[in-house]
Amino acid sequence: MQTLAEIKLLLETAGLSPRKALGQNFLIDKNLITRLLDSAELAPGQSVLEVGPGTGTLTEGLLARSCRVVACELDRGLAAMLRTRVPTLAFEGTPPVADRFTLVEGDCLGKHRSLNADAAAAVGPGPFKLVANLPYAAATPLMITLLIHHPACSLQAVTIQKEVADRLMAAPATDEYGALSIIAQAAAEISLIAKLPPECFWPRPEITSAMVLLRRRPTPLTDNLPGLLDLCQRLFAARRKQIGTTLGRDVALPEGIRPDQRPEQLSVEQFITLERALRTDASR
């Protein structure tokens, strides 16, 4: 894995520097990188999507474990460096890197809540995992997109803002609880891998980060994750309003849900029950 000195040299040689606008904070703690890789439970030949590879520190760790890596990089300069450098690497006891590494230059997300088309094609139709030190701006929309629209993504092992990690794991009746909490918990089992202080990165961000593991449930708690997301976003857009006010007082609510309750007071299971009831009524 790359040291801080190696990361700086790679950037300097390429005439690049970290871009704050793209959330480029490079993870430099080798023990934490290893911990993230271990948590992902990677097997030889495993297809992995990496978003925001930067100089390729995590990429090298994935390739050293014989994974097939699709890396999506928005920064044109970093993409050019990765395209030139990574295929020339070699790791003892593994197949040729050039046969296992695909670089997709551009935004990781396409239109209509979908994964970048080139990235999706490169990953292929089979199962894959997301393993990444995610750029902060991309984290939430990417994780939701994979949970809802890409069931082949069986696991997400990612570094994100601690604030986002708190929202993923939040319980009802807390400030952090919202649409992200409900969708993530309906689709996956979530656990905290580690908390990361700013000194684990270069340049140091102004916030604390966290590594989390999202393991997709064999069967989600609902068969309509897109509909559940739409309902959550509708209700949490008026978070302080009673749900009866937002939905309309003439809407028949399922047993156990009162019109004077606010969205954060409903459990994940109650949101699922409510979405199903509203869908049934709409189809009549």
CA distances from 106 to 61, 80, 110, 118, 157 (A): 22, 12, 10, 9, 21
pLDDT at 24: 87
pLDDT at 164: 97
CA distances from 118 to 11, 48, 114 (A): 26, 14, 11
pLDDT one digit per residue (tens) for the chain, 284 residues:
899 999 999 999 999 999 888 888 999 999 999 999 999 999 999 999 999 999 999 999 999 999 999 999 999 999 999 999 999 999 999 999 999 999 999 999 998 778 999 999 999 999 999 999 999 889 999 999 999 999 999 999 999 999 999 999 999 999 999 999 999 999 999 999 999 999 999 999 999 999 999 999 999 999 999 999 999 999 999 999 999 999 998 899 999 999 999 999 999 999 999 999 999 887 77
Break the chain into its structural domains and give their ranges: 4-216, 225-283
Three-state secondary-structure class, residue 189: strand
Structure tokens at 243: 């749900």
CA distances from 203 to 95, 190, 198, 199, 269 (A): 34, 28, 9, 8, 41
Topology of domain 225-283, CATH? Helicase, Ruva Protein; domain 3 (1.10.8)
**Per-residue exposure over 204-234, b if at least 16 CB sit within 10 Å of its own CB, e if not:** ebeeebbbbbbbbeeebbbebbebbbebbee
pLDDT at 23: 81
Report yes or no on whether pTM surpasses 0.85.
Answer: yes
pLDDT at 62: 98
* Superfamily of chain region 4-216: Vaccinia Virus protein VP39 (3.40.50.150)
Residues 6+ apart with CB under 8 A from 261: 242, 243
